Amino acid sequence: MEQKIHQGRNVKRFREMLGIKQEALAFDLGNDWNQKKISLLEQKDVIEDDMLRQISNALKIPVEAFQNFDEEQAVNIIANTVTTVNDNATGQLFQINSTINTSEKWIEALEEIKKLNNEKIALYERMLKEKEEMMAKLEKLINK
């Protein structure tokens, strides 16, 4: 029995890994979006390609990550990365499976995602500071 990949759950996983709240993602997706719509979106098994592209742009994560990431498969890859072989002549040998390269690529991709998220947070903080400075200037002008 083939297990289907739950794209909405993957959106939620990556959003949470990045430390982004549903409200923030809704803001990034536009005026038609709110926290409740994001919650409903994250419950969908399959998300339309156009919507996945928008989410991909907002979170800076490849569309393929939402379409292909399967938690059970990832756990199996990690579990099978090191396999034990019992050999009478040499005892126990450890063979490193080629899937370790895949795991390393995922780690690199997640590190890049984390870096991009930190840059995004820094940008939001700068924008907020500039907004506060502009508000202070406007208050000064109004109170003159």
How does pLDDT run across 29-87, given as a tens digit for each residue? 999 999 999 999 999 999 999 999 999 899 888 888 888 876 665 445 444 443 333 44
Whether the pLDDT of residue 112 is over 90: the answer is no
Query: Hey, which residues does 96 pair with through a beta bridge?
Result: 82
pLDDT of residue 44: 94
CA–CA separation, 106 and 8 (whole Å):
19
What does the pLDDT look like over 115-126, one tens digit per residue? 888 888 888 899
Question: Does the predicted model carry a pTM greater than 0.75?
Answer: no
Return the residue matching tokens 């939001």: 124
Indicate if the pLDDT at residue 22 is higher than 80: yes
Q: CA–CA separation, 120 vs 92, rounded Å?
A: 48
